[in-house]
Protein backbone atom coordinates (compact mmCIF):
# COMPACT_ATOMS: atom_id res chain seq x y z
CA UNK A 1 0.00 0.00 0.00
CA UNK A 2 1.28 3.46 -0.88
CA UNK A 3 1.27 6.19 1.74
CA UNK A 4 -0.02 9.58 0.64
CA UNK A 5 0.46 12.81 2.52
CA UNK A 6 -2.68 14.44 3.93
CA UNK A 7 -1.19 17.91 3.40
CA UNK A 8 0.94 19.11 0.48
CA UNK A 9 4.58 19.51 1.58
CA UNK A 10 4.84 22.53 -0.73
CA UNK A 11 2.49 24.45 -3.03
CA UNK A 12 4.60 23.14 -5.93
CA UNK A 13 4.41 19.53 -4.75
CA UNK A 14 0.68 19.31 -5.22
CA UNK A 15 0.27 15.69 -6.33
CA UNK A 16 1.62 12.34 -5.23
CA UNK A 17 3.27 12.08 -8.67
CA UNK A 18 5.16 15.37 -8.21
CA UNK A 19 6.30 14.31 -4.72
CA UNK A 20 7.66 11.00 -6.00
CA UNK A 21 9.33 12.58 -9.05
CA UNK A 22 10.81 15.54 -7.14
CA UNK A 23 14.13 13.93 -6.12
CA UNK A 24 14.85 13.46 -9.84
CA UNK A 25 13.13 16.46 -11.38
CA UNK A 26 14.39 19.01 -8.84
CA UNK A 27 17.70 18.76 -10.74
CA UNK A 28 16.07 20.85 -13.47
CA UNK A 29 16.02 23.82 -11.08
CA UNK A 30 19.72 24.22 -11.90
CA UNK A 31 19.16 24.06 -15.66
CA UNK A 32 17.85 26.53 -18.26
CA UNK A 33 14.47 24.76 -18.55
CA UNK A 34 11.00 25.19 -17.11
CA UNK A 35 10.27 22.31 -14.75
CA UNK A 36 6.52 22.76 -14.61
CA UNK A 37 6.43 25.83 -12.37
CA UNK A 38 3.66 28.15 -13.52
CA UNK A 39 1.44 25.17 -14.32
CA UNK A 40 -0.73 22.87 -12.23
CA UNK A 41 1.89 20.16 -12.84
CA UNK A 42 5.18 21.32 -11.28
CA UNK A 43 8.02 18.79 -11.33
CA UNK A 44 6.06 16.48 -13.64
CA UNK A 45 6.54 18.34 -16.94
CA UNK A 46 9.82 19.77 -18.22
CA UNK A 47 10.53 21.86 -21.27
CA UNK A 48 11.64 25.05 -22.99
CA UNK A 49 10.66 27.05 -26.08
CA UNK A 50 13.99 26.19 -27.72
CA UNK A 51 13.01 22.49 -27.78
CA UNK A 52 10.26 23.15 -30.36
CA UNK A 53 10.54 20.68 -33.22
CA UNK A 54 12.44 18.22 -31.01
CA UNK A 55 9.62 17.26 -28.64
CA UNK A 56 5.90 17.18 -29.49
CA UNK A 57 4.53 17.61 -25.97
CA UNK A 58 3.93 21.28 -25.16
CA UNK A 59 2.58 23.48 -22.38
CA UNK A 60 2.60 27.17 -21.48
CA UNK A 61 3.63 28.25 -17.98
CA UNK A 62 1.76 31.24 -16.56
CA UNK A 63 1.95 33.06 -13.27
CA UNK A 64 0.08 31.24 -10.50
CA UNK A 65 -0.34 33.17 -7.27
CA UNK A 66 1.03 31.26 -4.30
CA UNK A 67 2.86 28.76 -6.51
CA UNK A 68 4.99 30.42 -9.17
CA UNK A 69 4.17 33.98 -10.10
CA UNK A 70 7.13 34.53 -12.46
CA UNK A 71 8.22 31.13 -13.79
CA UNK A 72 10.95 30.84 -16.37
CA UNK A 73 9.49 31.09 -19.90
CA UNK A 74 6.28 32.64 -18.54
CA UNK A 75 3.61 32.84 -21.26
CA UNK A 76 5.88 31.08 -23.78
CA UNK A 77 5.03 27.69 -25.23
CA UNK A 78 7.48 25.09 -23.93
CA UNK A 79 8.24 21.73 -25.53
CA UNK A 80 9.62 18.77 -23.65
CA UNK A 81 8.75 15.71 -21.63
CA UNK A 82 5.56 14.85 -19.76
CA UNK A 83 6.11 12.63 -16.70
CA UNK A 84 2.58 12.84 -15.30
CA UNK A 85 1.94 9.20 -16.19
CA UNK A 86 5.48 7.97 -15.54
CA UNK A 87 5.50 4.76 -13.48
CA UNK A 88 7.11 5.99 -10.26
CA UNK A 89 7.33 2.44 -8.90
CA UNK A 90 10.47 2.19 -11.07
CA UNK A 91 12.14 4.94 -9.03
CA UNK A 92 11.02 3.40 -5.73
CA UNK A 93 12.21 -0.05 -6.79
CA UNK A 94 15.61 1.16 -8.02
CA UNK A 95 16.03 3.61 -5.10
CA UNK A 96 17.93 6.13 -7.19
CA UNK A 97 17.26 9.41 -8.91
CA UNK A 98 16.80 9.43 -12.67
CA UNK A 99 19.68 11.41 -14.19
CA UNK A 100 18.94 10.05 -17.66
CA UNK A 101 16.27 12.76 -18.14
CA UNK A 102 18.98 15.43 -17.71
CA UNK A 103 21.26 13.59 -20.16
CA UNK A 104 18.43 13.11 -22.68
CA UNK A 105 17.38 16.78 -22.61
CA UNK A 106 20.99 18.00 -22.82
CA UNK A 107 21.64 15.83 -25.89
CA UNK A 108 18.46 17.14 -27.54
CA UNK A 109 19.13 20.78 -26.67
CA UNK A 110 20.23 23.13 -29.46
CA UNK A 111 21.33 25.60 -26.72
CA UNK A 112 24.03 23.49 -25.10
CA UNK A 113 26.08 26.56 -24.15
CA UNK A 114 23.16 27.84 -22.01
CA UNK A 115 21.72 24.52 -20.82
CA UNK A 116 23.48 24.47 -17.43
CA UNK A 117 23.35 28.23 -16.88
CA UNK A 118 21.23 28.47 -13.73
CA UNK A 119 21.49 32.28 -13.77
CA UNK A 120 19.51 32.40 -17.03
CA UNK A 121 16.67 30.60 -15.28
CA UNK A 122 16.87 32.87 -12.21
CA UNK A 123 17.87 29.91 -10.07
CA UNK A 124 20.33 30.19 -7.23
CA UNK A 125 21.61 26.64 -7.27
CA UNK A 126 23.83 25.33 -10.02
CA UNK A 127 23.36 21.70 -10.97
CA UNK A 128 26.49 20.59 -9.09
CA UNK A 129 25.05 21.82 -5.82
CA UNK A 130 21.76 20.01 -6.43
CA UNK A 131 23.48 16.75 -7.37
CA UNK A 132 26.22 17.05 -4.75
CA UNK A 133 29.24 16.41 -6.96
CA UNK A 134 31.51 18.91 -8.70
CA UNK A 135 31.91 17.21 -12.07
CA UNK A 136 28.31 16.24 -12.97
CA UNK A 137 27.90 18.99 -15.58
CA UNK A 138 31.22 18.19 -17.23
CA UNK A 139 30.46 14.47 -17.33
CA UNK A 140 27.24 15.16 -19.25
CA UNK A 141 28.99 17.61 -21.59
CA UNK A 142 31.65 14.94 -22.19
CA UNK A 143 28.93 12.47 -23.23
CA UNK A 144 29.21 10.10 -20.26
CA UNK A 145 26.35 7.64 -19.83
CA UNK A 146 24.20 7.39 -16.73
CA UNK A 147 26.03 4.18 -15.82
CA UNK A 148 29.46 5.85 -16.14
CA UNK A 149 28.36 8.85 -14.07
CA UNK A 150 26.97 6.63 -11.31
CA UNK A 151 30.16 4.55 -11.31
CA UNK A 152 32.17 7.74 -10.69
CA UNK A 153 30.14 8.33 -7.52
CA UNK A 154 30.88 4.87 -6.11
CA UNK A 155 34.17 5.60 -4.25
CA UNK A 156 32.60 8.52 -2.38
CA UNK A 157 29.43 6.56 -1.61
CA UNK A 158 31.44 3.60 -0.30
CA UNK A 159 33.51 5.86 1.96
CA UNK A 160 30.35 7.52 3.27
CA UNK A 161 28.63 4.19 3.97
CA UNK A 162 31.68 3.01 5.92
CA UNK A 163 31.85 6.25 7.93
CA UNK A 164 28.14 6.27 8.79
CA UNK A 165 28.04 2.68 10.09
CA UNK A 166 29.08 3.69 13.60
CA UNK A 167 26.10 6.07 13.79
CA UNK A 168 23.38 3.65 12.66
CA UNK A 169 20.97 2.55 15.36
CA UNK A 170 19.44 -0.18 13.19
CA UNK A 171 20.64 -2.33 10.31
The band of 61, judged by pLDDT with boundaries at 50, 70 and 90, is: very high
Mean pLDDT, rounded, for 122-128: 71
pLDDT band at 74; cut points 50, 70, 90 = very high
Q: Which domain holds residue 75?
A: 16-132
Contact 118, 86 (CB under 8 A): no
Does 168 fall in a domain?
no
66: nearest Cα among 104, 129, 11 = 11
| In a domain? residue 56 | yes
Is the Cβ–Cβ distance between 140 and 36 less than 8 Å? no
Instruction: Taking the CA atoms of 67, 69, 70 and 74 in sequence, report the sign of the dihedral they define.
Output: positive
What is the pLDDT of the chain when averaged over all its residues?
91
Of 145, 166, 167, 123, residue with least CA distance to 30: 123
Residue 143 is assigned to a structural domain of this protein: no
3-state secondary structure of 130: helix
- Can you give the pLDDT at residue 123? 61
Report if residue 147 sits inside a domain: no
pLDDT of amino acid 124: 57
Q: What is the DSSP letter of 39?
A: S
Task: Answer whether residue 27 is part of any domain.
Answer: yes
In a domain, 151, yes or no: no
Q: Look at 59-73, 120-134, 155-169 and tell me which has the smallest mean pLDDT.
A: 120-134
User: Would you say residue 121 lies in a domain?
Assistant: yes
Count the domains in the chain.
1
Tell me what pLDDT residue 125 has.
67
Give a yes or no: residue 54 inside a domain.
Answer: yes
Cβ count within 10 A of residue 37: 24
The pLDDT of residue 1 is above 50: no
Amino acid sequence: MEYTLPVKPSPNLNTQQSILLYPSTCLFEGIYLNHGRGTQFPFTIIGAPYLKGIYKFSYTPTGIKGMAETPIFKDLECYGIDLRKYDTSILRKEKKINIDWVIQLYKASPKKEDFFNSKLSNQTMPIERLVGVADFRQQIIDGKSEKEIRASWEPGLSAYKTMRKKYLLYN
